[in-house]
Amino acid sequence: MTEFRPGKDKTFNRNYRIVIVPLVYVVYTVVFYVINPFSRYWTFLANAPAERLVLELFIGLIISWLITESSLTSTRWLDKVMPWETWPLRRFFTQFAAVLLAVFIFLKAFDFVIIRFIDKPAEFTEEDQMEEWQFVSVSMLVAILLNSVHTGSYFLRRWKNSMVEAAQLQLHAAALKETAMQAQLQSLKLQLDPHFLFNNFSTLSVLIEEDARLATSFLEKLSRVYRYMISNLNNDVISLQQELNFIQSYIFLIEIRHGENVIIQTSVSPHSMEKGIPPITLQLLIENAIKHNIASAQQPLYVRIYDDAEGNLVVSNSIQLIPHALPSTRLGLANIKERYALLFEKEVIVEEVDQQFVVKLPLVNL
């Protein structure tokens, strides 16, 4: 982002002079009057003709212009040899010293021209000398005020620019984070457990030989499950009601594969049905429970789905681990945890309580 500094923008400097020079003249006159309200100069102005007043106004504006130019010139020169970014403290004191020196030189030169060519006094009294030094002192004081305005304006612009740049960087970082998050989410959604595919196709091949009608129903439910998966690839969150409707088709597949060896129970309040959950979450948890635990007639596997008072959806199963379980593909719990972290910045709680493997999924507002 480009940054304005006095002396670099010609249009701004022209307009700046048009406004600041008369303002410096007013400030200069007021300060001079406050310091010495009994100066003979005020009596002189009160009795001077209109032509002389115009000349005094012109001289005053010239002095104000010299003060302004001194400040701008010293600032422009120091920007080249001593930038604020490199030596801020040294620049601060040097700029004030340079402005005072430039104003003193310009004013002494101007005073020399006035005395020599315009208004040479008949006698240079001690009072005249005192007023001359008052004139120089007031001019330097006004120059210091003007330089303070320049310095404060510079730091204010720097602060505003830094705030804008910080906001732009934050927006850019947020955009990059969003892009990365969407890519990661898409990758997570496309993950399908190969064991789930293998088991269901194996079951289907057996049913085709033994019971063609049941095989047709099984194939219909299986196609429903994958249609749901594909249709929700672009959805980050769906209602719990939709997820539970999908689970009914999935439970049918489980019942055909495992019969009464796996018992899935759901008990969710109507209020929680309106909350949101990442799609395919329940299917991953149920499949994860079946993959790692014994499910037999003598030792059926119980899976419960219910909501708790803290606003979580709880999926629990009895712990009866298979002695030689298949190695994990890390596409179940890890998938769910990563999606919750990316989408909602919420943590999925996993714990073992009373021989129950419990997963608590925070429900979110849609």
pLDDT in tens, 304-325: 999 998 989 999 999 999 886 5
> Minimal CA–CA distance to 286: which of 273, 303, 306, 309?
303
Q: Which of 79-93, 173-187, 351-365 has the lowest average pLDDT?
A: 173-187
Q: Does residue 243 surpass a pLDDT of 60?
A: yes
Mean pLDDT over each residue of the chain, to the nearest integer: 77
Q: Name residue, tokens 């943590």.
A: 347
| Residue 147: C-alpha distances to residues 73, 86, 101, 106, 139 (Å) | 11, 19, 13, 16, 12
Burial 284-304 (b: 16+ CB within 10 A, else e): bbbbbbbbbbbbeeeebbbbb
Q: Could you report the per-residue pLDDT of 248-301, keeping only the tens digit for each? A: 888 888 888 888 999 999 999 999 999 999 888 888 888 889 888 999 989 999
pLDDT in tens, 22-53: 887 788 788 777 777 777 777 777 888 888 88
| Domain ranges, ordered by start, for the chain | 10-181, 190-362
Tell which wins on pLDDT, 324 or 181.
324
Stronger pLDDT, 352 or 157, i.e. the higher one: 352
Question: What is the predicted pLDDT for the residue at 123?
Answer: 57
310 or 19, greater pLDDT: 310
What does each C-alpha distance from 99 to 69, 81, 104, 112, 143 come to in angstroms?
A: 10, 15, 8, 20, 7
pLDDT of the residue at 3: 42
Angle at CA of residue 256, ends 252 and 262, nearest 5°: 80
Domain 190-362 classification at class level: alpha beta
